[in-house]
């Protein structure tokens, strides 16, 4: 049985070249569709202006023969035809691919180089200037510095080759090699500066997009938390109503039955009487404990703390037969649901302790507001004629 080594698929040469150049997207669409359309629109309109200028230069006072004249016109027609096609695509389809713009830039460089070769070569005084907007536009669209350096290097090599081989070449006596070096240096400088500005703006745009996406995620989380909180509030309100309609009513009826049995039993059987009294007290205590989730529903419905506590104190009187009242001083500030529910639970526990352990004859709940906060909340009980404070020093701010 032969064991063949596993096949390792190596990257294709094109992928290696692209990775080396720093281009992550083979389609060369390094910007979104909206930005690509914007750049493409500016590019085609810029080409119309440059083509118009080149046509004027070609037609106005030509100093060359008909063959060269028709060659220039043919180059302009080819560029105008492809530029018109891109313009049509943008107007009708609304999108343009990066490869289409890349093809336009390659055609620009080829047409400019052919035009320089057809003319006097290096000695032509303005033809090389058309390289500069093409290099700048390429640097704006493609932000890979390596790709731009390769691009400008290829263009400069083409131009240097034409300058050295076409016509009389360079006049070293007139130091034209220094002028050629300066023109090439300007090419690299333009690409470097424009690419740096383009990368900086692209980074700022990316950061702005990231911030906006983070804000969108935060808003979505806030909406989810709000919806969850509202759902929980509705469920708690429904639960309080359900407890009131089912368990609380049943326990209350059981308590009434126990009280009725106690009155019918009389005092003949002390053990039975004591048991019924304990059951009656236990039923009242259970009904009172059930009033906590029932009356807590008012907190989740958005009612004020003082209003809910006043109703709760009234329920305490009805259930336990112990008089209870709420005394409120000051104006209640806006409080969160968590704060109101916490203070409500504190007051409820104080009333429960007063009923179970203080043998209270009267209960007074004091609620003091001042300075945008609850400065003091006390529950006082009157047991055997003496006042006793069962809960005190409760402080909460509006937040």
Question: Which tens digit of pLDDT belongs to each residue from 74-83?
Answer: 999 999 999 9
Residues 253 and 366 grouped into a single domain: yes
What pLDDT does 5 receive? Answer: 45
- Looking at residue 2, its pLDDT comes to 44
Q: Quick check: 255 and 290 in contact, CB under 8 A?
A: no
The dihedral formed by the CA atoms of 302, 304, 305 and 310, expressed in degrees to the nearest 10: -120
Q: What pLDDT shows up at residue 379?
A: 62
104, 114 contact by CB (below 8 A): no
Buried b (16+ CB within 10 A) or exposed e, 16-36: eebeebebeeeebbbbeeeeb
Same domain, 287 and 340: yes
Domain-embedded: residue 43: yes
Q: pTM for the whole thing? A: 0.51
Residue 225 lies in a domain: no
> Taking the mean position of all CA atoms in its chain, how far away is CA 197?
27
Residues 172 and 286 in one domain: no
The answer to whether residues 197 and 297 belong to one domain is no
Q: Are residues 139 and 250 in the same domain?
A: no
Q: How many domains, in total, are found in the chain?
A: 2
Same structural domain, 215 and 250: no
Question: Is there a contact between 29 and 36 (Cβ–Cβ < 8 Å)?
Answer: yes
In eight-state DSSP terms, residue 28 is -
Answer whether residue 226 is part of any domain: no
- Residues in the chain with pLDDT < 70? 1-34, 371-399
Whether 287 and 380 map to the same domain: the answer is yes
- pLDDT of 40-90, one tens digit each? 888 899 999 989 988 898 888 877 778 888 888 999 999 999 999 999 988
pLDDT score for 155? 94
Examine the domain organization and report whether 201 and 274 are in the same domain.
no
d(CA 105, CA 154): 13
Interior angle at CA 320, CA 317 and CA 321, nearest 5: 60
Do 155 and 50 share a structural domain? yes
- pLDDT at site 20: 57
Do the domain assignments include residue 37?
A: yes
Q: Quote the domain boundaries for residue 309.
A: 246-397
Any domain includes 231: no
Whether 64 is covered by a domain: the verdict is: yes
Whether the Cβ atoms of residue 173 and residue 157 lie closer than 8 Å to each other: no
């Amino acid at each position: 049985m032969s064991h063949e080594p596993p096949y390792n698929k190596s990257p294709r040469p094109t992928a290696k070249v692209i990775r080396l150049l720093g281009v992550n997207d083979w389609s060369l669409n390094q910007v979104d569709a909206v930005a690509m359309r914007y750049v493409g629109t500016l590019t085609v309109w810029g080409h119309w202006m440059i083509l118009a200028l080149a046509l004027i230069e070609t037609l106005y006072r030509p100093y060359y023969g008909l063959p060269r004249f028709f060659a220039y016109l043919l180059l302009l027609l080819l560029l105008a035809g492809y530029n018109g096609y891109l313009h049509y695509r943008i107007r009708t389809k609304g999108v343009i691919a990066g490869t289409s713009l890349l093809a336009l830039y390659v055609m620009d460089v080829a047409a400019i180089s052919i035009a320089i070769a057809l003319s006097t070569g290096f000695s032509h005084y303005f033809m090389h200037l058309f390289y500069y907007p093409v290099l700048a536009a390429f640097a704006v669209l493609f932000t890979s510095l390596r790709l731009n350096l390769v691009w400008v290097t290829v263009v400069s090599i083409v131009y240097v080759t034409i300058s050295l081989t076409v016509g009389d070449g360079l006049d070293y006596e007139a130091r034209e090699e220094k002028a050629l070096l300066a023109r090439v240096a300007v090419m690299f400088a333009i690409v470097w500066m424009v690419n740096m500005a383009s990368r900086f703006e692209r980074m700022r745009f990316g950061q702005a997009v990231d911030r906006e996406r983070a804000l969108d995620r935060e808003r979505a989380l806030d909406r989810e938390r709000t919806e969850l909180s509202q759902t929980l509030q509705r469920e708690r309100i429904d639960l309080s109503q359900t407890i009131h309609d089912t368990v609380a009513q049943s326990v209350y009826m059981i308590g009434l039955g126990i009280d009725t049995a106690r009155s019918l039993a009389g005092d003949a059987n002390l053990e039975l009487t004591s048991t019924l009294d304990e059951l009656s007290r236990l039923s009242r205590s259970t009904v009172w404990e059930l009033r906590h989730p029932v009356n807590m529903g008012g907190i989740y419905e958005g009612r004020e703390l003082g209003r809910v506590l006043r109703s709760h104190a009234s329920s305490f009187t009805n259930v336990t037969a112990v008089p209870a009242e709420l005394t409120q001083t000051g104006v209640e500030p806006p409080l969160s649901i968590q704060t109101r529910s916490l203070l409500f639970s504190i007051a409820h526990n104080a009333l429960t302790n007063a009923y179970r352990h203080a043998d209270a004859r009267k209960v007074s709940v004091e609620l003091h507001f001042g300075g945008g906060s609850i400065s003091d909340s006390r529950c006082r009980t009157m047991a055997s004629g003496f006042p006793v404070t069962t809960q005190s020093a409760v402080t909460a701010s509006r937040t």
